[in-house]
């Protein structure tokens, strides 16, 4: 199923908030991403309808298996690409912001090669 860059960003944010707080609500996503609550509500409805999230009776948002798979893939790319850019001398804030742009467009093959290079170069 095709998911757009903004959807990937929402899923990654849900994963990060879940890891940090143990639960996620729309207001948490809005605060983290700097968007309005109505914008987040629309996005969450789309993600729910597409099978990426579930919302329970308490209004807590949970990643489905599909949503978690996408979120973890994007988060791994973000973390690895940020570290690579920092190793190249890019400051932490810029590295994180630019990794977010790259993580959505890079192919799986190119990412795996960058990750392999980064992990093997850590030992040198």
pLDDT greater than 70 at residue 48: yes
Name 90's Cβ contacts closer than 8 Å, sequence gap at least 6. Answer: 98
This prediction's pTM: 0.87
Domain parsing of the chain, residue ranges? 5-69, 75-121
Taking the C-alpha atoms of residue 83 and residue 77, their distance in angstroms, rounded to an integer, is 10
Q: What average pLDDT does the structure give for the chain?
A: 94
pLDDT of residue 124: 63
The tokens describing 105, both together, are 């467009």
Q: What percent of the chain has pLDDT over 70?
A: 97
Where are the strands (E) in the chain, listed by range?
Answer: 53-55, 61-63
- Taking only the tens place, the pLDDT of each residue in 79-117 is 999 999 999 999 999 999 999 999 989 999 999 999 999
Q: What fold, for 5-69?
A: Arc Repressor Mutant, subunit A (1.10.10)
Using alpha carbons only, give the angle 55, 61, 64 rounded to the nearest 5 degrees.
80
Looking at the structure, give the CATH architecture of the domain made up of residues 75-121.
Orthogonal Bundle (1.10)
pLDDT of residue 122: 78
The tokens describing 4, both together, are 């757009």
The tokens describing 70, both together, are 């996408």
């Amino acid at each position: 199923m095709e998911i757009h860059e903004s959807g990937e960003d929402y899923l990654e944010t849900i994963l990060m908030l879940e890891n940090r707080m143990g639960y996620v609500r729309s207001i948490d996503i809005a605060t983290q991403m700097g968007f309005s609550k109505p914008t987040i509500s629309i996005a969450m409805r789309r993600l729910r309808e597409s099978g990426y999230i579930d919302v329970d009776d308490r209004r807590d948002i949970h990643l489905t298996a599909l949503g978690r798979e996408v979120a973890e893939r994007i988060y791994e790319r973000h973390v690895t690409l940020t570290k690579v850019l920092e190793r190249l001398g890019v400051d932490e804030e810029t590295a994180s912001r630019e990794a977010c742009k790259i993580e959505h467009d890079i192919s799986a093959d190119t990412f795996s090669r960058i990750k392999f290079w980064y992990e093997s170069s850590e030992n040198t």
